[in-house]
Chains A and B, each alone.
Chain A
């Protein structure tokens, strides 16, 4: 049941980092509207795969990378606003840096309320906890207002309950999503499709309805 027109398409893709092979012979297609979880042990190549996929539609994707890339000298408000930079003119953006626009401040404040960091908008990220920083990074991705979300362990630093709640929210806000995620339970519960990576190769590619936890756990076992 491959979609007629795939949004993301890799055919026999390999990738090396500093002469160290990371991905071997990856073939996959992801269609519009699919919610895909990437699972696999650390070092399996999930981040690299995400970055290859990102390059196919950089302008249509809300990205939330593992290294959140928060700018410590700017306020939380500005860090979230950065997601919207491409929607506004340069002039508008520069004015915003000096004096935030009221309308934008309201939008970002609304977003921050959903994320539970509305009281931190004036602070800089270096004053926040790991979990709060991750929420700021998610805020930036959400403020991109794109239809595709791409995240690399986007809720790993949050406590399980909040993490689950936010993951659900993010998935609801985007039509298509590709998310590297550590927990097989979350992958099964919230995604349509699960791609497992192991040692830089596709180990399995299932519809969420056709696998269970015991199968997914084999991904993490040593071959």
Chain B
């Protein structure tokens, strides 16, 4: 089934599409819980602001160790998942591989973490699996896209050889520069994922951040926050490609201790605990009743919140991206563009979950912190890419281009708009994943019910809710792909 968008001109078509999304976002606000639970956010805001400029941490060793743990998880997670991603990408023409990759990447790192925590505890294995599994699915998809963009000339000369040799002799060497730059970007993402896994208890930076925030010690929270920002902002100064092997060995050595795994317990968890008892006993009617109850009591309300927050955050991200990107483009604002650029770099480096936690202290656990956090991070990320496009196009612009606001509204904005829409639709799935996950903070999205079910040791319910979140993601992913196709939007240049 295709989606059709009718309008006279290309611009009108994009405008109508945008207005539809804006309307849906506006209606979402009636469903999302957007109340201000905190009567006076300004006092708290002042205290947090003061904390940010007076960072302090009593025990430097402790902070250093958790920074090293953060890097170790990210490094090993990316190394293993990139390798798995290559293998999956080689057989990506098989439907089963595509579906498998889509499913594993549709579950958020935090959910994988919560799941493995039940069997492996707060161990290194939990952290590694939580990053490796979804990242392998993402790598598989992106690597496969990269392979398809390569010229097939080299491969044609090798016809008759096995699929594997063709890949290792032609596809991978050809695609390597693109793959390497994507792996580098993913490493940054892995640092963020690794840090936020601390929110569920793993010994990374997020753990100290959450603890400090919870105790209201904003100077300590700020110390962790700055260490994280510096860590992520200086990757290219401390990451030497040549030392990769040494880094990996070091990371392995630094991982927290691994308690012994009880194989029969793990087996029981995955085959028994995750499934409703009635289903295992063959009581179909009872199982249906069970699913019906979970759907009505938890899935329904959670879906409404998750979708409403996603749609509102999506449109707000777009608005912020369009408002911010000109300030980071030299062609549009002149020499002070670096100020705007710096702001966007900071915004895209901070994980949504950290921002949401911060906003939650201000507004209370409503949908507002989630919407703002998602919009700030994603708006910043999209704006950064648009600013790059805008600067790159400078050489092709007419000499007599308009100046001032007219340059933005009449020339640059319309030229950037197709890429903007493509990027925004591309982020849709990501925003959905994140908004479901944010429930672990207490916002009533799917993650909240997943977290509660785990706390009540109702693994079957938690697992079912995770599956629902995964299905939601797969649906949004395919919807976004169809919309992009119908609107004639190309795959965005990241």
Contact = CB atoms under 8 A, between A and B. Distances in A.
Nearest to B400: A63
Contacts of A69: 397-398, 401
B10 A93 contact: no
B9 A122 contact: yes
Contacts of A74: 11, 410, 414
B326 interface: no
A67 B395 CA distance: 12
Interface stretch (A37-45, A123-131, A165-173, A185-193): A123-131
How big is the A interface, by class?
Answer: 20 to 34
A97 B400 contact: no
Contact of A124 (B10, B397, B406): B10
Interface residues of B, number: 23
A93 B418 contact: no
Interface residues of chain B: helix, strand, loop or mixed (majority): helix
Interface stretch (A78-86, A155-163, A197-205, A208-216): A78-86
B406 A93 contact: yes
Interface string A111-139: 00000000000111011000000000000
Given A71-B410, A72-B414, A73-B415, A82 B8 contact: no
A54 B400 contact: yes
Given A65-B398, A65-B399, A67-B396, A73 B10 contact: yes
Interface in B393-428: 396-402, 404-406, 409-411, 414-415, 417-418
A3 B416 CA distance: 46
A159 to B, nearest CB: 25
A51 B397 CA distance: 13
A82 B10 contact: no
A175 interface: no
Interface string B52-95: 00000000000000000000000000000000000000000000
A61 interface: yes
B410 A58 contact: no
A167 to B, nearest CB: 20
B290 interface: no
Contacts of A13: none
A123 B406 contact: no
A73 B406 contact: no
A58 B403 CA distance: 12
A29 interface: no
Contacts of B415: 71-73
Interface in A55-95: 55, 58, 61, 63, 65, 67, 69, 71-75, 78, 82, 85-86, 90, 93-94
A75 B9 contact: yes
Given A82-B410, A90-B404, 9 more contacts: A54-B400, A63-B399, A67-B398, A71-B411, A73-B418, A74-B11, A90-B406, A94-B409, A97-B409
Q: Which 9 pairs show the lowest CB-CB distances between chains A and B?
A: A124-B9, A73-B414, A69-B398, A73-B11, A124-B10, A63-B400, A71-B414, A85-B402, A85-B406
